[in-house]
Amino acid sequence: MSDSVLAIEGVAKSFGANQVLANVCFSIRKGEIVGLLGPNGCGKSTLLNLISGVFPADAGTLAFQGENMTGQSMDHIARRGLVRTFQLPSMPRRMTVAELLHGAAARGAGFGSLFRRDASEMAEIDGLLDELALSHVRYLPAASLSGGQKKLLSIALALRASPRMICLDEPTAGVHPNLRHHMVGLLRRINASGITLLIVEHDMHFIRELCSRCVVMDRGAVIADCKPSELTSNEQVVEAYLGNARQKRAMA
Amino acid sequence: MFQFLVDVLMRACDLMLVAIGMSAVYSLMKFPNIALVQYAATGGILAIVLQKIGAPVAVAIVFAVVLTGLVAVILNEFLFNRMLKIGSSTAMIGSLAVSLVFSAAFLVTVGPNPSRFRLPVSKPIRILDARITEPQLVSFAIVAVALGVFALLYFRTDLGRCMRATSTNEVLADATGINTARMKTIIVLISGVMAALGGVAIALKGEVDIQIGMDLLLPVFASAILGGLGNPFGAVAGALLISLVETVVTTINFGPLMGQVVVFLPVAYASAISFLLLVAALLWRPRGLFVSEVKRV
């Protein structure tokens, strides 16, 4: 697959005796919006942590745009354009939202913008804050935001890091339905600008609306890789999600 | 009265830069590096030695400060970074050990006798009844400029923003592509330079002996903790407070309280005061005087 952006091959990870991922293989093509689903404890978050370099994989390779990222540091991976958001990010107490957004794109490369700021950069940040309904809190300390707002800020930070691909960790959990609808539009626009998206999500409506493809995991392995519409007809998926309920019904 | 203010300011200048360095390093490295007080001593002593060898004062100071910054980076790279992998308490104890090694090294190389810069003797200037010497003014200027430059860097540059982002949530900073390892090296370099400048500022005002570093430890630590470890500009306020109390205690005439004409506390009591303040801070304001109310889960 020559147009694959992210190629995951034979990835495994254990925490002590607990094998969380075993031989996970799939790849994501450029421009796709892929949903990553699975019951709690199936290894979604661990996979996301491996992809973004929070910790290294025990086995297997992760390649981003043809470059082997296995064992690379998190900031290196992010600078190559593979960034992620956090589900419950803790934000700085002594930095405002706007400051944080300015810093995120700068990466400490230079002393630039000592006093004056680039007008286009300001406009970009304004637009981003508008889009994520964060304009009114831009001069507040980032730590004072609500959980949902922090999640939005996490997305904004990811966008500021000039990404080629973003991995979103449950972007809609705890977000108001209106804003969720808004977020679908935002993510579509982000995607239309050429950024590939991998979305870890429990909300099926959100996935159906947005994703062209779904990867479903259960107990550390990929059990399905299909269109969202095909999910309900997939035996294994239904088993993984509803297995218990079914058994109970059968026994009743 | 104005003399009193000058005394407070001068004492605060002694502590301020080292305390800022300690707080700044803590904010990124997550351990209080005790060796910083010895970096201050190194800066001061090295500058004096270089001047003795024949370098002009300004050159001696610049060289001493830069060299000390490099020493800070090297020690961090080879010692503290490795100790931090074991734990922050290990690194802190390690930095105490390094400080003792510094003391021994000073004893071997420069000996136990105090030394000072060779400066032209000038008459003190009188400003509003207070006597201020020229070296005191220079030393004050050095501290003020260092403080200003650091504030600009910390609050107004992208570098500063990235350092602050790294200090609060390293993983989040990593995730946006900030090179957090480089940020740490830079803050270590800055703290080494600041501490060395602090040492030079002390040396300019009088004699320096090899105990200067360890003498600084308690008041600097108290300043950094009062300001809230990890909040560099809180440490400025901490240093001012410590100096104020030290100066009050050593300049007040306790005579009338004790039915005598004149009773001044010996200067040695000044360090007891910073110790008391440190204990009080640890008991009642362990996160510093400026706890921001912004803490939300």
Q: Ramachandran region of residue A102, left (φ > 0), alpha (ψ -120 to 50) or beta?
A: alpha
| Closest residue of chain A to B291, computed from CA coordinates | A93
| Inter-chain residue contact B294 with A79, CB threshold 8 Å | no
Q: Is residue A243 part of a domain?
A: yes
Rounded Cα distance, A198 and B52, in Å: 65
| Inter-chain residue contact B169 with A79, CB threshold 8 Å | no
Q: How far is B1 from chain A (nearest CA, A)?
A: 36
For residue B100, what pLDDT band results from cuts at 50, 70 and 90? very high
Rounded Cα distance, B294 and B297, in Å: 10
Q: Is residue A117 part of a domain?
A: no
The pLDDT score that the predictor gives to residue B103 is: 92
The pLDDT score that the predictor gives to residue A192 is: 92
Under a CB-based contact definition with an 8 Å cutoff, are residues A169 and A158 in contact?
Answer: no
Tens digits of residue pLDDT in A74-116:
888 988 899 998 887 778 878 888 888 887 776 545 444 444 5
Q: Is residue A84 part of a domain?
A: yes
Q: How far is B264 from chain A (nearest CA, A)?
A: 42
Q: Is residue A174 part of a domain?
A: yes
Q: Is residue A177 part of a domain?
A: yes
Q: How far is B178 from chain A (nearest CA, A)?
A: 4
The pLDDT score that the predictor gives to residue B146 is: 95
Q: How far is B234 from chain A (nearest CA, A)?
A: 12
Query: Interface pTM (ipTM) of the complex?
Result: 0.75
| Closest residue of chain A to B172, computed from CA coordinates | A89
CATH of the domain at A14: 3.40.50.300
Tens digits of residue pLDDT in A126-150:
888 988 888 899 899 888 888 888 8
Output Rg (C-alpha) for chain B, integer angstroms. 19
| Inter-chain residue contact A102 with B182, CB threshold 8 Å | no
Give yes or no for residue B95 having a pLDDT over 70.
yes
Domain containing A185 equals: 4-91+162-251
Q: Is residue A196 part of a domain?
A: yes
For residue B291, what pLDDT band results from cuts at 50, 70 and 90? low
| Inter-chain residue contact A86 with B172, CB threshold 8 Å | yes
Neighbours of A155 (CB within 10 A): 23
For residue A251, what pLDDT band results from cuts at 50, 70 and 90? low
Q: Is residue A147 part of a domain?
A: no
Tens digits of residue pLDDT in B195-211:
999 999 999 988 888 88
**β-strands A67-68, A59-64: how paired?**
antiparallel
| Inter-chain residue contact B175 with A94, CB threshold 8 Å | no
**β-strands B130-132, B125-127: how paired?**
antiparallel
As a whole number, the mean pLDDT across chain A is: 83
Interface of B with A (CB under 8 A): 152-153, 156-159, 161-165, 167-169, 171-183, 186, 231, 292, 294-296
| Inter-chain residue contact B294 with A74, CB threshold 8 Å | no
Q: Which residues of B touch A154 (CB under 8 A)?
A: 172
As for how many domains chain A has, the answer is 1
Tens digits of residue pLDDT in B210-264:
888 888 999 999 999 888 888 888 899 999 999 998 888 888 777 777 777 777 7
The pLDDT score that the predictor gives to residue A103 is: 76
